[in-house]
Structure 1
Amino acid sequence: MHLVDIGANLTHDSFDRDRDAVLARARAAGVVQMVVTGASREHSPLALQLAQRHPGFLYATAGVHPHHASEYTDECDAEMRALHAHPEVVAVGECGLDYFRDFSPRPAQRKAFERQLQIGVDLAVDGVGKPLFLHQRDAHDDFMAMMRNFDGRLGPAVVHCFTGTREELFDYLDQDWYIGITGWLCDERRGAHLRELVKHIPAQRLLVETDAPYLLPRTLKPTPKDRRNEPMFLPHIVAELARDRGEDIATTAAATTKAATGFFGLPG
Structure 2
Amino acid sequence: MIDIGVNLTNQRFDKDRVEVIERAKSLGIQQLLITGTNVEESQKALALCHEYQQQWQDCLYATVGIHPHDADHVSADYIEQLQILAKDDVIKAIGECGLDFNRNFSAPAQQIKVFNEQVVLAEQLQMPLFLHQRDAFEPWFNTLTPYFNRIPAMVSHCFTGNADELKQCLDAGMYIGITGWLCDERRGQILRDIVSHIPLDKLLIETDAPYLTPRTIRPKPKSSRNEPSYLPYIVAEISKITGLDQDEIACQTTINAKRVFNLP
Consecutive unaligned residues in structure 1, runs of 5 or more? 125-129
Which of 140, 151, 158 is residue 154 of structure 1 equivalent to? 151
Q: Does 1:261 align with 2:261?
A: no
> What SS does the aligned partner of 2:63 have?
strand
TM-score (structure 1 length as normaliser): 0.95
Letter in 2 for 1:79: Q
Consecutive unaligned residues in structure 2, runs of 5 or more? none
Give the fraction of aligned pairs with identical amino acids, expressed as a percent. Answer: 47
| Pairs within 5 Å for 1:92-107 | 92-107=94-109
Q: Deviations over 1:84-134 (max 9, x none)?
A: 01010000000000000000000110010011001101112xxxxx11000
25-34 vs 216-225, which deviates more? 216-225
CA distance in structure 2 between the partners assigned to 1:94 and 1:5 by the alignment: 15
User: Partner of 2:171 in structure 1?
Assistant: 174
> What SS does the aligned partner of 1:31 have?
coil
User: Partner of 2:49 in structure 1?
Assistant: 51
Q: How much has 1:198 moved relative to structure 2?
A: 1.1
- Number of residue pairs the alignment of both structures matches: 260
Which of 72, 76, 79 is residue 78 of structure 2 equivalent to? 76
Which of 34, 37, 45 is residue 39 of structure 1 equivalent to? 37
Q: How much has 1:155 moved relative to structure 2?
A: 2.2
- Do the aligned partners of 2:97 and 2:130 also contact (CA within 8 Å) in 1? yes
User: Partner of 1:127 in structure 2?
Assistant: none
TM-score (structure 2 length as normaliser): 0.96
Q: How much has 1:151 moved relative to structure 2?
A: 4.3
CA gap of 1:142–1:244, structure 2 versus 1, over 3 A, is same
Q: How much has 1:144 moved relative to structure 2?
A: 1.0
- Do the aligned partners of 1:41 and 1:71 also contact (CA within 8 Å) in 2? no
Letter in 2 for 1:11: T
User: Partner of 1:231 in structure 2?
Assistant: 228
CA distance in structure 1 between the partners assigned to 2:121 and 2:42 by the alignment: 15
User: Partner of 2:180 in structure 1?
Assistant: 183
User: Partner of 2:5 in structure 1?
Assistant: 7
Q: Does 1:206 align with 2:208?
A: no
- Do the aligned partners of 2:148 and 2:172 also contact (CA within 8 Å) in 1? no
CA distance in structure 1 between the partners assigned to 2:11 and 2:148 by the alignment: 38
User: Partner of 1:122 in structure 2?
Assistant: 124
User: Partner of 2:20 in structure 1?
Assistant: 22
The 4+ residue runs of structure 1 with deviation greater than 3 A are none
Q: Does 1:66 align with 2:89?
A: no
> What SS does the aligned partner of 1:86 have?
coil
Q: How much has 1:70 moved relative to structure 2?
A: 0.9
Q: How much has 1:225 moved relative to structure 2?
A: 1.6
| C-alpha RMSD of the superposition | 1.0
- Do the aligned partners of 2:178 and 2:205 also contact (CA within 8 Å) in 1? yes
